[in-house]
Structure 1
Amino acid sequence: MCWWHPGRMFHVVHLQRLDQTERVVVLSPRTGRPRPMFFRAVPRASTDFPVPGGGANTSSRMVLLSSLACSWLYSTLSKCDSKVLEAAYDANHPDTNSLVASSTSVILAAVGTAAAVPSPSSTATTDACYVTEYAAIPAATAACTSITLDGLTVPGNSTIDLSKLKSGTKVTFKGKTFWEYADANYAFIKVGGSNIEITADADAVLDGNGQAWWDGLGSNGGLTKPNHFIEISKVLGNSSVHDIYIENYPVHCFAISNSAGLDIHHITLNNSAGYAPNNRSNGLPASHNSDGFDLGSTNDTTVRDSVVINQDDCVAVTSGNNILVNNMYCNGSHGLSIGSVGGKSNNNVTNISFTNSVVLNAENGARIKSNSNTTGFISDILFENIRVENISIYGIDIQQDYLNGGPTGNPTNGVIIQNIAMRNITGTATVEGKNYYILCGEGSCSNIKIDDVHITGGGLESSCNFKTAGNFDCDGHFV
């Protein structure tokens, strides 16, 4: 067990190990760093140890720390960088009040807030796995396999780093998590590990404070912005991310890479506040490039049963194998997308299914896009049972002239597109849009079959330069 004592002249941590030896670490205003004072064998319940500068009745002001906190402190506290406390004292006139406050913050940041108890014999403990302050996250992830993050305010340019979770860890968000502004590009959350679970309580909200960054340009310029809300990388085994509500994320939300065996479900991404212009967006929607789920170099993964209200791709797969996207509700997006493919480190997309989903008030419905003058491979793609409504550009879109700044109109054939099936896709386009658009490079598209597709209302003439199999007729505009 261990106790923490904030002394008047020194800050003392008393650690008593199971082998009945103890270590006292003193934070000295003369050195500005922790010093191990002694080891000695004592009775396990003893509190008779010297407290320099602490005065007589020291035990009444002690705080009993949890076993996890104890273990962490024992192994790491004496290794603290001496610079941590330099600001708390002056070489000639130590500011002991600042020292105590500073050293206290170091301890509490490492182990979570401890509750004062009358004496060391109390059974009250602090749960280092229940995190209420941002600074306590590293200690929790290092020691715990069940972590609660409750009501955190995350400082600007700071990341909730869950990238090295222990195998089997569950992380639960509670209350409102809020990110403060910083003029920087960084991830709000990073996740990594095997057989892990990331979830949230039913009333929890993750608020990205996107209004502080939105300027109508997204990642294409303007203010420097956090490009990804949550980066999931190297997540393996039987892992899941589920039942999380996220609002007002600055640019892209989920960036999923180098992962396998991941089940993402019952997620709500609500960027509806970004539809309205603001004083920086020149009349455009304030939020831009607000992709919901971007997947790359990821295998054997499911994204399902989720809601995305945003201003860019609902789900986009740029590389990977064996991915299912099912039962999605997408509003205001750029649709359900393969791509853009080409020009990246991995440009192979195989065995991807988009099924049983709704795409409303979007630029595109079902979409496959490859970048101009690049190479890659797209094969075995299924779009099935998709309802699209109020589509402003293309109801169905296969194009090989894509550039982020806008399509070139001249398709290239470096990306192979083959074995594509589209079935039972129905709905409407707007008078500004086209029902269908297919623009393949020479010889790069093959075995595309489209059946039972019926999209109406597009005011611009459909255009398809590749003759597909099935009963699809491109509104009579195969060219």
Structure 2
Amino acid sequence: MKANGASALLLFAAAGQAAVLPERAVATCTHDSALELFELFQVVAKPFCSQYTRAPTHTVPAFAARWSKVPGKISSACMCLNGGKPTAVASSAAIATATSSKAVIASVTIASSSDASSAILTPTPTSSTAVVASATPASSSEVVPTIPTPAADLCYVTAYSAIAAATAACTAITLDNITVPGNSTIDMSKLKTGTKVTFKGTTFWEYFDANYPFIKVGGTDLEITAAEGAILDGNGQSWWDGLGSNGGMKKPNHFIELTKVLGSSSVHDIYIQNYPVHCFTITNSAGLDVHHITLNNSAGYAPNERSNGLAASHNSDGFDLASSNDTTVRDSVVINQDDCVAVTSGNNIIVNNMYCNGSHGLSIGSVGGKSNNNVTNISFTNSVVLNAENGARIKSNSNTTGFISNILFENIRVENISIYGIDIQQDYLNGGPTGSPTNGVIIRDIKIRNVTGTVTEEGRNYYILCGAGSCKNITINDVDISGGGKPSACNFQTNGNFDCDGKFY
């Protein structure tokens, strides 16, 4: 149809009205991926659900962030946790806000100068948050379609073989439903400054008997993200044998390597499942913001035919950071079988609002015996660690040197911890404790505040094992961890109101 300027505005208004007044769906209890995460984190999900109103001002926790634009999924999961009873019904204003992200792209073809007041207006629903008008000159009798340029085709990649050309030429790259051949890497280590890469659909890695990275990223002012519903599937079941990087089958040791990622870069809104061993390895980077990531290796909890009764997945660290500065990891979920986040070297790193399940906890270390052994100005805050071996941990390697300073653990909830609720120890050798601490790594200016929760009968609430003279100025206040069947033990007298369950020695 043809429309003058006023008619076009009316059509835009009608489309906008349709977007903010959808048919209201009745909430139901649906067993889906959202419910799976809510059940894993139910110790915090239930209190959240009891207050959830779908109001735009209500903060959605990291474990639910993937569905922040699909409030029906959150309502469904909350209903299931609530015994099938519905949560509060949203007001029409809340629904309008929640659905206003569904906007309209309007393709406007401007007529020739003899009929410049007329236009062809075609609204198309999209998940974008903007209204975009593209104007293309045309004759008064026909509409000329927009023809994609070769550059646009080059940058929209649907086959692994085309990735190299796209990364060499483009700054806006889409990787759509890529199947990665065995022993092959999505190499984005030399991206142009300012490049944005978006994963779309399912990216899947085929099996090969070798150790190689799945993804490599490097460059300045980068954005690595994924479209809604996209999945990066590492096919870890093909490699898992219960040994991880400690032996057994050859395995791809790192899922994604971020090396020399600089400027103001971000990696965000990505869902990764079934990665073979370690997931994120961040080295020699600065100015990086990693957020809204879900790492789901829950399939690796069960033994398989190669793991001799052990969990099939092993050494499945979520985020490992080394020699990096001014970096943030936040608002993310890690379901795995090793460290949730581990910092082995670096300065000014913030880890905030993490939800960790089945991990080895939030860790500094192990430190010592590496090319860089300085860890300074690191904070772990506002996080939840469930069903893990450790809660908050600092560890250094025996007979090595290093420097750990100005570390903060604050507002950490730990539940069902099997070894140590809070742990500082200096006796690691070949990946395990010896019981005999050494003092080559200095640990000083440590603050631990408001860490609370439970430990299992097999674990200890608190454990501090410092070398002679190597721990200084450790302050612990307002911690409350209980349930450990083994007595706490602390060989260093800390500052603050912490008493190590009366087990200082």
Query: TM-score under structure 1 normalisation?
Result: 0.74
- Residues 26-52 of structure 1 show CA distances to partners (whole Å, capped at 9, x for unaligned) of xxxxxxxxxxxxxxxxxxxxxxxxxxx
**Which position in structure 2 is the counterpart of 1:239?**
265
2:195 to 157, 166, 169: 169
Q: Secondary structure at the match of 1:128?
A: helix
CA distance in 2, matches of 1:402, 1:386: 24
Question: Does residue 1:200 correspond to 2:226, yes or no?
Answer: yes
Percent identity, aligned pairs only?
Answer: 83
Aligned letter for 1:433? Answer: G
Aligned to 1:110: none
Matched, 1:311 2:337: yes
**Corresponding residue of 2:351:** 325
**CA distance in 1: counterparts of 2:438 and 2:430, whole angstroms:** 15
- C-alpha distance in 2 between matches for 1:406 and 1:124: 58
Name stretches of at least 5 consecutive residues in structure 1 with no aligned partner. 1-121
Match of 2:212 in 1: 186
Listed one character per residue, the Cα deviations across residues 196-246 of structure 1 (whole Å, up to 9, x for unaligned) are 000001100000000000000000000000000000000000000000000
What is the count of residue pairs matched by the alignment? 358
Please give the alpha-carbon distance, in whole angstroms, between the structure 2 residues aligned to 1:236 and 1:406: 34
Q: What amino acid is aligned across from residue 479 of structure 2 in structure 1?
A: V
Whether 1:265 and 2:272 are equivalent positions in the alignment is no
* Structure (1 or 2) with the larger CA radius of gyration: 1
Q: Which amino acid is the alignment partner of residue 271 of structure 1?
A: N
- Counterpart of 1:128 (choices 154, 174, 184) is 154
Counterpart CA distance in 2 for 1:206 and 1:285 is: 22
Match of 1:220 among 242, 246, 270: 246
Instruction: Tell me by how many angstroms 1:468 deviates.
Output: 0.2
1:338 corresponding residue in structure 2: 364
Q: How far is the alpha carbon of 1:124 from its aligned partner?
A: 5.5
CA distance in 1, matches of 2:148, 2:504: 76
Aligned 1:60-459 pairs, distance under 5 A: 123=147, 125-126=149-150, 127-459=153-485
Shift in Å, 1:406: 1.7
**Shift of the alpha carbon at 1:465?**
0.3
- Inter-partner Cα distance in structure 1 for 2:473 and 2:169: 53
Q: How far, CA to CA, are the matches of 2:148 and 2:457 in structure 1?
A: 68
- Quick one: distance in 1 between partners of 2:173 and 2:269? 16
Q: How far is the alpha carbon of 1:123 from its aligned partner?
A: 4.7
Equivalent residue, structure 2, for 1:468: 494
Q: Tell me how far 1:144 sits from its aligned partner.
A: 0.2
The residue matched to 2:197 in structure 1 has which SS? strand
Residues in 1 aligned to 2:149 and 2:442: alpha-carbon distance in whole angstroms:
61
Distance apart, 1:404 and its partner CA: 4.0
Which amino acid in the other structure matches residue 424 of structure 1?
Answer: N
Shift of 1:402: 1.2
Runs of 4+ in 1 over 2 A off after TM superposition: 122-126
TM-score, normalising length: structure 2: 0.70
TM superposition shift of 1:403 = 2.6
CA RMSD, 1 decimal: 0.9
**Aligned-partner Cα distance in 1 for 2:431–2:200:** 40
Q: Quick one: which amino acid aligns to residue 303 of structure 1?
A: V
Deviation at 1:125, TM superposition (A): 4.5
Q: How far 1:279 sits from its partner (Å)?
A: 0.3
Three-state SS of the structure 1 residue aligned to 2:165 is: helix
Q: CA offsets, 1:250-296, max 9 Å, x none? A: 00000000000000000000000000000000000000000000000
Instruction: Give the partner amino acid of 1:155.
Output: P
Spell out, residue by residue over 1:41-79, the C-alpha distance to the aligned partner (whole angstroms, 9 max, x if none).
xxxxxxxxxxxxxxxxxxxxxxxxxxxxxxxxxxxxxxx
Segments of 5+ residues of structure 2 without an aligned counterpart are 1-145
